[in-house]
């Protein structure tokens, strides 16, 4: 969130006093200037599990968050293993717009402290993106088609967070992919395409994901964020021909397979974001399908530690002469 930090600038400014006496006109005085430095925090400390910023113009604001009964967006603080902690909770959803501007699927779980927070302070996402992308450890821009990163493409570690910048990219994280750090997704196709982020199978991102759709021509693309599927929900192999035949008569292949193999308790793959998502665009669909977005202060702090504060100007308050 934007913060105002009171600072005092002691400047040795030479002020020429226009007096009638030519000798006095050569005298100089020091002045002290007081004001507010306008900065954005690099810690991301005030983010909710999902923070959505409205661009604030006249175009429609179309935001949909969907999921099923097993999917969760949680502002409760979790550790890197996904276990809920006893403190450090934030809102499940925060936005600078009004209630009713965002459509939330009633089937999914949206929780936090509070569950939803409307008319919150706005964030200058564009300033963040412009400042942070130049610090990226990895950059991928303007690639055609769907890009895929799997298990072997994993990025960073709990002790080595990274900044990744994707520009005009459709990206699918799949398999057992893990990423740690700040993931920046910027789209400026302006109606020519759409940015997309998919976390499938058991893919996980630990940290902060910033999604920003530039709007230089008034026709920003819809952003799609999918957490879960196609492999989520089951690590079992493809059903056999016999199992498929039994399914034709009303038996679910996975039920037959589980009963035969006795692996009904086998851990399920589950795509997750452990950290926070920050979005600014006119249109975004966040779709959970056997996936979760869980706030994790440790991961958010790890991403925030990669970046500093952004100077956004100075607001003068007063000045006085110094003897």
d(CA 39, CA 124): 10
Instruction: Specify the 3-state DSSP secondary structure of 284.
Output: strand
Strand 93-95 and strand 116-117: the pairing is parallel
Q: Quick one: 50 exposed, middle or buried, by C-beta within 10 A (0-12, 13-18, 19+)?
A: buried
Token duo for residue 310? 């952004």
Long-range contacts of 236-243 (CB under 8 A, 24+ apart): 236/261, 236/263, 236/266
Asked if residue 79 lies in contact with residue 296, where contact means CB atoms within 8 angstroms, the answer is yes
d(CA 222, CA 62): 9
| Residue 220 per-residue DSSP state | P
All residues at 6 or more sequence positions from 159 whose CB lies less than 8 Å from its CB, including other chains: none
Token duo for residue 293? 């977005």
DSSP-assigned states of every residue in 156-172: -BTTB-EEEEEES-EEE
Residue owning tokens 């923070």: 51
pTM for the full predicted model: 0.73
Instruction: Specify the 3-state DSSP secondary structure of 282.
Output: coil
Q: How do the domains of the chain map onto residue ranges?
A: 2-38+313-322, 44-233+268-306
Instruction: Specify the 3-state DSSP secondary structure of 130.
Output: helix
**Closest by Cα among 196, 165, 162, 195 to 178:** 162
One digit per residue, the tens of pLDDT, for the chain of length 323 reads: 433 333 333 333 333 333 344 444 455 555 555 554 444 444 587 899 999 888 665 555 778 899 989 999 999 999 999 999 999 999 999 988 877 778 898 899 999 999 999 888 778 888 889 889 989 999 998 888 889 999 999 999 999 999 999 998 889 999 999 999 999 998 876 545 567 899 999 999 999 999 988 664 444 456 678 888 665 433 333 455 555 665 666 655 443 333 333 344 445 778 999 999 998 877 788 899 889 999 999 999 999 888 765 544 444 555 566 65
Q: In what order do the strands lie in the sheet with 30-40?
A: 2-11, 30-40, 310-322
Which H or E element spans position 51? strand 50-53
24-67: pLDDT as tens digits:
445 555 555 555 444 444 458 789 999 988 866 555 577 889 99
């Amino acid at each position: 969130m934007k913060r105002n930090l009171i600072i005092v600038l002691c400047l040795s400014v030479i002020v020429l006093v226009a007096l009638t006496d030519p000798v006095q006109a050569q005298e100089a005085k020091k002045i002290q200037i007081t004001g507010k430095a306008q900065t954005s925090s690099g810690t991301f400390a005030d983010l909710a599990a999902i923070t959505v910023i409205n661009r604030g113009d006249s175009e429609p604001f179309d935001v949909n968050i969907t999921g099923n009964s097993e999917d969760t967006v949680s502002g409760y603080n979790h550790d890197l293993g996904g276990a809920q902690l006893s403190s450090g909770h934030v809102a499940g959803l925060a936005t600078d717009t009004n209630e009713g501007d965002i459509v939330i699927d009633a089937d999914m779980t949206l929780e936090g402290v509070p569950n939803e927070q409307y008319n919150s302070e706005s964030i200058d996402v564009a300033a963040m993106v412009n400042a942070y992308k130049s610090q990226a450890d990895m950059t991928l821009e303007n690639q055609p088609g769907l890009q895929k990163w799997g298990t072997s493409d994993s990025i960073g570690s709990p002790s080595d967070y990274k900044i990744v910048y994707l520009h005009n990219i459709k990206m699918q994280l799949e398999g057992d992919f893990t990423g740690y750090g700040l993931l920046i997704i910027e789209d400026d196709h302006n109606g020519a395409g759409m940015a997309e982020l998919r976390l499938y199978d058991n893919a996980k991102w630990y940290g902060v994901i910033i999604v920003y759709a530039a709007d230089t021509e008034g026709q920003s693309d819809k952003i799609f964020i999918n957490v879960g599927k196609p492999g989520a929900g089951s690590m079992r192999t493809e059903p056999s021909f016999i199992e498929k035949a039994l399914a034709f008569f009303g038996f679910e292949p996975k039920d037959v397979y589980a009963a035969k193999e006795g692996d009904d308790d086998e851990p399920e793959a589950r795509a997750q974001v452990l950290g926070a998502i920050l979005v600014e665009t006119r249109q975004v669909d966040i779709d959970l399908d056997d996936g979760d977005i869980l706030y994790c202060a440790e991961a958010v702090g790890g991403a925030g530690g990669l970046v500093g504060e952004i100077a956004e100007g100075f607001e003068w308050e007063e000045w006085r002469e110094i003897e």
